[in-house]
Amino acid sequence: MYIISIIIVLVIFVEVYSISFRYEKKHISKKTEKIQHNYEENKELKFNKYFVKEGINVYHNPGKIRIDKNYNVIIKYNDEDILMEQNKTYSIQTDFTLETININDEYITYNYIEE
């Protein structure tokens, strides 16, 4: 009886793990279709520089966005949230919301250009 219960628990564990792994793969592939990022500095693009003093949500049209420092800036689109990284250019093909969380009470700067 003890061996049967261990086998059942083991089978349930494997099934739950495989289901969660499949969901994670789909979620990552969906994210990479909508947002592309580029680590290289692109000197040809003329970004507009924006300054935000307080934590707010800013709505933007599709375009490219980047931050120069590690701020608490989150890209929200299609019910997904992505914490932005320093010196990484994000190319977004859908309308999105930029959520800024200002902890240090200093200006948060980000660069954006609409496509």
> DSSP readout, 12-35?
HHHHHHHHHHHHHHHHHHHHHHHE
- Domains delineated in the chain: 34-114 (2.60.120.10)
The pTM (predicted TM-score) of the whole model is 0.59
33 vs 16, more confident: 16
CA distance 8 to 57: 48
Over residues 110-115, the mean pLDDT reads: 88
Quick: pLDDT tens for 68-92: 888 889 899 888 888 999 988 888 8
One-letter-per-residue 3-state SS of 47-97: CEEEEECCCCEEEECCEEEEECCCCCEEEEECCEEEECCECCEEEECCCEE
